[in-house]
Structure 1
Amino acid sequence: MCVPGCMEAVTAGLSRRGFFGRAGATAAGFAATAIAPASVLAQNAPPAAAPAPSAAAPTAVLPTTFTRVIDLSHTLGPKFPTFFDTAGIELEQRADFAKDGYNMYVWKLIEHAGTHIDAPIHFAETGASVDQIRTETLVVPLAVVDVVEKASDEADYLLSRADLDAWEAKHGRLPRGCCVAMHSGFGKLALTDPARFIGRDVDGTLHFPGIAPEAAEWLLKERDVAGLAVDTLSLDNGPSKDFKTHKVWLPAGRWGLENVANLEQAPAAGATLVVGLPKIEEATGAPVRLFALV
């Protein structure tokens, strides 16, 4: 995740009209290391063995300017909806300022709660855990596919190959190394109408949109895509019992983002996604702070 002062340092050290300008400034040096294109990073990085084909994610080509930052993260609290109707996070106070001179909490956390990432190991016997996800795949072009109208008519809607074709017909080929995000409109319901967000019926089946396995397979075979994102609880839609999209996508060395917020504020094309990811050993998932740079 972005440490305290991270965004302030970036803002102060960089001109928003020249993302990688002021190379002599300390903050600019930090930002260039953290969010420079892979071609820049490669010049200063030691040689490394190429990953196995199934684990290889494409390297993105990034723009070098932005004018605003969109927060794509929900605030995670005990009331945020989860699959299991249990709190995704619990905070136990261990120090109180009035008594101890400082404040501190201990967290009890479900890895896959709130706005979070699914690491490849989440649905594979072997694969990258959270701490092993390649840094250069966490700052990528963002392609937002709007299926709001379709999802409003069908809660279990699956983003399809036809939706991807329609996006490309309007915006051109999906950018190399991008994240494809499904905007279903359900993100607004997470805190305003959690019952509808989850969609649990009398039989216990959930109802919310997801991404069709066939669309995920096509993205793997025909396009260079680093990640998938949804504004719902899961990459698969609510009624899914086999989680086929997870099984197609994650074992191929790709990551997924779930419970993404504010996708209606992001453009369909042209933004850069920054995934602020804690480096937790052996984790299968983790809360993330997501930013879209526009």
Structure 2
Amino acid sequence: MCVPGCQETVARRLSRRGLLKGLAGVTAGTAAFTAFPPPRAARAAPASFDRAVDLTHALMEDFPTFFGKPQLEMERTAEFSKDGFNMFTWHLAEHTGTHLDAPLHFSADGASADELALDQLVVPLVVVDVKQQAADDADYQVSVEDLKAFEAANGALPEGGCVAMNSGWGAYVAEKKFRNADADGAMHFPGFSKEACLYMMEKGVVGIAVDTLSLDPGASKGFDVHYTWLPSGRWGIECLANLDEVPTTGATIVVGAPKIRGATGGPSRVLALV
């Protein structure tokens, strides 16, 4: 189950007609993405690396989902013993597993997954560790103070880069705690705050990523982060894996986004070059 009413809210807001009507009511988000220019192209990636870290969870039919119902079905359409080859037909919701949120996901006419420029998908990566805060508070939101503390210790957030939240939640992907739904169906897991998004937009960050099911904290009812970040022409990644294997700074993220025309996102193979 999802937060009561959230599925209807998302369905209404994600329809183009609903968005055109609804965006007038999302004044804070509108002001946010009109106040900042589109993100610039990222700095060039390093010419060499020592290893690649797979930030992608293996996707299977029972992978946990935001709405609590399976979003992948694999229908066998050929079998080697009978047909001489194997093949499946996939029945798949775009936002399943480790996946991309394109600007179109939460905007009326933003860029679709296939329209994202390559120089925005291979960019510098920094990892903000909030595992202790998340252990103390499942509803924790990465704050502006967290980002400023990160910068004081590690230097400025990378213009044209990606900021990933490491809450430790990736370790729970096979457990009920990954959704962490209470008796009323409300989920409790960490995410970014809207204020942190505005700060990163000022810094020229192009992508944000989380090891949870949503860029917003699980208890969010208004999807403020989605409505602030994505309409500005930026992208997000949800359900990252293995962030503990990536250094705080110095890595490059490679987002293997689906090149499906008109897609609002989709399962992606995401790597960190270290």
> Normalising TM by the smaller chain, what interval?
0.7 to 0.9
Give me the whole-angstrom Cα distance separating, in 2, the residues matched to 1:260 and 1:238.
16
Cα displacement (A) at 1:233? 0.3
Tell me if structure 1 keeps the 8 A contact 2:194–2:228. Answer: yes
Cα displacement (A) at 1:56? 3.9
Cα displacement (A) at 1:122? 0.4
The equivalent position to 2:166 in structure 1, one of 183, 186, 199, is 183
The equivalent position to 2:46 in structure 1, one of 51, 55, 63, is 63
1:286 aligns with 2:269: no
Which structure carries more relative contact order (alpha carbon 8 Å, separation 6+)? 2
Cα displacement (A) at 1:185? 0.2
Tell me if structure 2 keeps the 8 A contact 1:60–1:137. Answer: no
Which residue in the other structure is 1:233 paired with?
213
Amino acid at match of 1:122: H
1:203-239 CA distances to partner (integer Å, 9 max, x unpaired)? 1100000000000011112x12110000000000011
Q: Secondary structure of 2:134's partner?
A: helix
Tell me if structure 2 keeps the 8 A contact 1:57–1:253. Answer: no
Q: Which has the larger radius of gyration?
A: 1
Percentage identity across aligned positions?
51
Q: 5 Å matches for 1:155-234? A: 155-191=138-174, 193=175, 195-221=176-202, 223-234=203-214
Cα displacement (A) at 1:57? 3.7
1:37-92 CA distances to partner (integer Å, 9 max, x unpaired)? xxxxxxxxxxxxxxxx7444432232222101100000010111001221121100
Which residue in the other structure is 2:133 paired with?
150
Q: Secondary structure of 2:206's partner?
A: strand
Q: 5 Å matches for 1:260-271? A: 260-271=240-251
Q: 4+ residue stretches of structure 1 with deviation over 6 A?
A: none
Unpaired segments ≥5 residues, structure 2: 1-35
Tell me if structure 1 keeps the 8 A contact 2:257–2:267. Answer: yes
Cα displacement (A) at 1:121? 0.5
Give me the whole-angstrom Cα distance separating, in 2, the residues matched to 1:114 and 1:86.
13
Tell me if structure 1 keeps the 8 A contact 2:39–2:206. Answer: no
1:17-38 CA distances to partner (integer Å, 9 max, x unpaired)? xxxxxxxxxxxxxxxxxxxxxx
Which residue in the other structure is 2:10 paired with?
none
Which residue in the other structure is 1:13 paired with?
none
Tell me if structure 2 keeps the 8 A contact 1:61–1:177. Answer: no
Q: Secondary structure of 1:113's partner?
A: coil
Tell me if structure 2 keeps the 8 A contact 1:88–1:114. Answer: no
Amino acid at match of 2:265: G
Give me the whole-angstrom Cα distance separating, in 2, the residues matched to 1:227 and 1:60.
13
Amino acid at match of 2:181: R
1:136 aligns with 2:119: yes
Tell me if structure 2 keeps the 8 A contact 1:161–1:215. Answer: yes
Give me the whole-angstrom Cα distance separating, in 1, the residues matched to 2:52 and 2:246.
10
Give me the whole-angstrom Cα distance separating, in 2, the residues matched to 1:204 and 1:275.
32
How many corresponding residue pairs?
239
Give me the whole-angstrom Cα distance separating, in 2, the residues matched to 1:94 and 1:68.
37
Q: Normalized against structure 1, the TM-score is what?
A: 0.80
Amino acid at match of 2:75: E
Tell me if structure 1 keeps the 8 A contact 2:39–2:204. Answer: no
